[in-house]
Amino acid sequence: MVEIKSDAALDVMREAGRVVAHALAAVREAAGIGVSLRELDEAARAVLDKAGARSPFLGYQPSFAPTPFPAVICTSVNDAVVHGVPTDYRLRDGDLVSVDCGAVLDGWAGDAAISFTVGTPRPADLDLIDATRRALDAGIAAAVPGNRVGDIGHAIGAVARAARCGMPADFGGHGIGRTMHEDPHVPNRGRPGRGFPLRHGLVLAIEPMLMAGGNDDYRTGEDGWTLHTTDGSRAAHIEHTVAITDAGPRILTLP
């Protein structure tokens, strides 16, 4: 079922989104060569705690997962695409890191992700992050009343294709509201003019995940959570929670 939110609910979701943005900023600030993924999780946890927000990631166990998720962020490094579990791994020079974070504040959720490099970046990684950012921007630009969910995926897919990047077909964006994952599903490839109609008050998490190797295959790691590329190529993942409004897309997960 798809829930259309009131304007008052959108304003509360904006505050939840702001907490997510601040947590991601704290992670970005804490990240560096030699810093562990667990320490990044602690940085995000401190922001959520201070804001009085709950983590929708902590303890989350979807059907595919073997264990409840143990952290408030996902940390996906290099060939990891999404759902990476924070471990004692310490970041190295040249790593590409994607961090996904959620927060629930006053009963409403926000969800966003960033990708960045550590130390001296590989030029190809900067290109990949740039393409993922452009894919997200294109998806957000298509998130307007009168369009359909397929228009968002079509816009994202066009950017990914032009950048010769692959995308894991089974994973994409989603409706979001009182819980982190709601209908409708927002595929990262879509057919224009198809799917759920977009209207004022619909809120979607839009999240392109691009794989530099160009194929769409992925494998699940031994932890049962982390998605990896099958060719060892690197991946990037950037996400915003976006409200469709009559005044245009309203990004709820900005600082």
Q: Point out which residues bind Mg ion (CB under 5 A).
A: 100, 111, 113, 205, 239
What is the Cα 237 distance to its own chain's centre?
Answer: 6
Q: For Mg ion, give the closer residue by CB, 195 or 208.
A: 208
Quote the least distance from Cβ 239 to Mg ion, whole Å.
5
Quote the least distance from Cβ 102 to Mg ion, whole Å.
6
Quote the least distance from Cβ 113 to Mg ion, whole Å.
5
Q: For Mg ion, give the closer residue by CB, 93 or 170.
A: 170
Q: How far apart are CA 17 and CA 102, in angstroms?
A: 8
Q: For Mg ion, give the closer residue by CB, 113 or 198.
A: 113
Long-range contacts of 169-175 (CB under 8 A, 24+ apart): 169/216, 171/81, 171/82, 171/209, 171/227, 172/207, 173/139, 173/204, 173/205, 173/206, 173/207, 173/239, 174/204, 174/205, 175/2, 175/3, 175/202, 175/203, 175/204, 175/205
Quote the least distance from Cβ 237 to Mg ion, whole Å.
8
Q: For Mg ion, give the closer residue by CB, 138 or 242.
A: 242
Q: For Mg ion, give the closer residue by CB, 79 or 239.
A: 239
Quote the least distance from Cβ 100 to Mg ion, whole Å.
4
